[in-house]
Structure 1
């Protein structure tokens, strides 16, 4: 068969066969560290591998593959259409604008650094996160992990390395198999359900001691870099802090941790949820991001001067967060429920204020020593895709430093007394997503359009549901 540059080939019978521009050539796709992976699987006597890809929601898609087949088969694949499915598993009307009409396969290359045990599996099972490539060898533009990796490469080009520490909140809830019923807290060791605000209560955490111990055991088995656990303000609401480190590694760890918490809860006959606000009378759950930036050449924190004071770079980073958060709010609040958390009456940001050790502001600078001077972004909800939340925060900060954007003066007093200035619905947030060319250049124009299409489709599907409130107050009174 001969071919030309037009994307066609002629076989021996003279028949012209057309093929896509992205014709697969495995030599173009990075092989990955197959030797290290094979050795790890052998050492741990693994019989099955979960090959995982984070989708647009940050949840796991992938395949279960026998270990011997995983090692011997070089080219693992998944259809690229899974990257643009809604949270209900549907496709938007614009679906084929973002993927090939033939639903082309993505080529998967497992990342050896993400190899972990699956400690709750009955057989020795491993999990590994795979990077996604197009058949022509390009990183797939619809992969949220690739989006974060690209933003990190921009920092590296500038001689900088971001450092990150996430805080993840979640609720334990009584098993709820009927969506029409409201969620309630589970019973603890005492046989009772929480009914009072028990922030930082040791005894309240001890009510779920068996769950907590198993969760930490599972996390240790996966080498997740967890730090402290506290009881948060809500009934049976917990917060787990991660130690600081590389942003991509920590996004992978949050991705694995959410699976771990859900699985641990199921084994204790309850649910764990990362919904932004699962109960009307309880506060929301956040994914707070603590971030600083290191100069690669010197190893020093560029947010702190020699005198131990905040630098211009730190102020510009905050300026970038203030400037670009309105366009990127749907990365922090990606679901219709997310905006129930961002309300004036609960502990969540509602405007773009920042302050020193002020938890009512959106961007908080905690009290710390010089080496650990950092900015806490309090916008992301626990329901956010960690790859995209981290991407949004770091991209905003980098643009702020590039453009030397100055922040507002630090807020003094309670920022929740000020006006709400951000989107209050998913639709409003998503419609601002493509307003800024510099963000499109960093995150990818195709990804931004695809993400907006998926989220607007979710909003429209939600908007068709008639709620109890409407039946109660409008049925006989309008």
Structure 2
């Protein structure tokens, strides 16, 4: 159901007694609560109070000491979240409990830093330019024979992979855990996250899934709910699913590639396609691609937000290391897929599975629109062959702190996303680096403890 009146009437007529609501924090983590049916209907025409600490702490609930938006200095008041009725779903693995996403759109104190609200703003800009953006995410993630308790008992290290060995596209490996594997496809689809395909990837216990494309906001909703849904379904089988960008030095990382195209307002014509061009690329696509390439070094933390993200962005790892593009080239940052008019699209290969989908899609769309608005020429030559051997292209920042400093000093980020968001986001990434930098690691102990 996509008619809000129908949704509300169906819930009123049902015998359900509770509803689950969630918003997404700056790291793309769902933060939510279970409320009564009565409470839900009281908030539908009003708003729901939600403690704004969700934008004042990190992924481990440690309170930022550098945030201006909220903090101890504000007393952590409630901000007013809006429930988006169009996001209605039932959770098939949780007794079909009704579920809704919310955000802080039109909540004056927090709207500017809310990831979903930011994407809404960028999508609206696209609409004003006459474009309908169609997006989808594909994810890779590792699965482990662990529970949260068993992993804690191991001090969070040396988890046991679900299956052994490098065996991409394996029918055998997926059949080893067929109940879990099939539940992922079936239950996620029932949850309103239609899966286009799922298979094993190369690595111990790693899967990859592609989500069907749709309009950009719904695509980001699906991506966020996919990650949480996979984790919840995995728990049912005493499995932990990890979307960490690079959990093991010797194994490939986990990507969160973004597929995208722009369509006309009637959604009939793919504006990235031009049958007269040698590569089937329209001028719109060329400007859009030029915009993404131009902006990429200035907004990289929105694609690679954690310290660990940059362990994935290394040569020979199926991940991007430079400002580059190519036709059907999986060694470049941007891959143009030109199979036909309906499927003509751009794949942004920089984001890892650890990226916040609202922010990575906002970054992709905003930078692409920047290229169109400014009619940027596509003056970077497409890579032929192995981009890792190309010394002519600009390298991406190597660490979170380097990338954050570049974003902080750039006017482009502020132009794309606004001063309030950029200021807050940069502070959260600086905090993330500080937390890492203050800790003594196993690597340091092994290297220096006895010998130095």
TM-score (norm 1): 0.87
Which structure has the larger Rg over C-alpha atoms?
1
CA distance in 2, matches of 1:439, 1:393: 12
Partner of 2:307: 336
1:93 pairs with one of 65, 89, 98 = 65
Note if contact 1:47-1:125 (Cα within 8 Å) is conserved in structure 2.
no
CA distance in 2, matches of 1:302, 1:124: 39
CA distance in 2, matches of 1:58, 1:416: 30
1:260 pairs with one of 204, 209, 229 = 229
CA distance in 2, matches of 1:234, 1:227: 21
Partner of 1:411: 383
User: Any idea what SS the aligned residue of 1:384 has?
Assistant: coil
Cα deviation code 1:23-63 (max 9, x no counterpart): xxxxxxxxx98744422323553221111111111111122
Bigger mean CA offset, 43-52 vs 282-291: 43-52
Note if contact 1:159-1:297 (Cα within 8 Å) is conserved in structure 2.
no
Partner of 1:476: 450
Note if contact 2:286-2:377 (Cα within 8 Å) is conserved in structure 1.
yes
Q: Which runs of 5+ in 2 are unaligned?
A: none
Bigger mean CA offset, 372-381 vs 302-311: 302-311
Note if contact 2:105-2:117 (Cα within 8 Å) is conserved in structure 1.
no
Aligned counterparts, 1:257-336, within 5 A: 257-296=226-265, 299-307=268-276, 309-336=280-307
Aligned counterparts, 1:212-291, within 5 A: 212-291=181-260
Partner of 1:27: none
User: Any idea what SS the aligned residue of 2:99 has?
Assistant: strand
Partner of 2:124: 153
User: Any idea what SS the aligned residue of 2:447 has?
Assistant: helix
CA distance in 1, matches of 2:187, 2:264: 35
CA distance in 1, matches of 2:335, 2:134: 16
Bigger mean CA offset, 417-426 vs 142-151: 417-426
Aligned counterparts, 1:344-423, within 5 A: 344-407=315-378, 408-418=380-390, 421-423=395-397
Aligned counterparts, 1:16-27, within 5 A: none
Question: How many matched pairs?
Answer: 438
Aligned counterparts, 1:202-213, within 5 A: 202-213=171-182
Q: Which runs of 5+ in 1 are unaligned?
A: 1-31, 187-192
TM-score (norm 2): 0.91
Q: CA deviation at 1:393?
A: 0.7
CA distance in 1, matches of 2:67, 2:423: 11
Aligned counterparts, 1:76-225, within 5 A: 76-97=48-69, 101-121=74-94, 123-133=95-105, 140-175=111-146, 176-177=151-152, 178-186=154-162, 193-195=163-165, 197-225=166-194
Cα deviation code 1:402-428 (max 9, x no counterpart): 112223011011012235711111111
Assess, with a 3 A threshold, how the Cα gap between structure 1 residues 135 and 468 changes in structure 2: closer, same or farther.
Answer: closer
Assess, with a 3 A threshold, how the Cα gap between structure 1 residues 320 and 70 changes in structure 2: closer, same or farther.
Answer: same
CA distance in 2, matches of 1:159, 1:253: 24
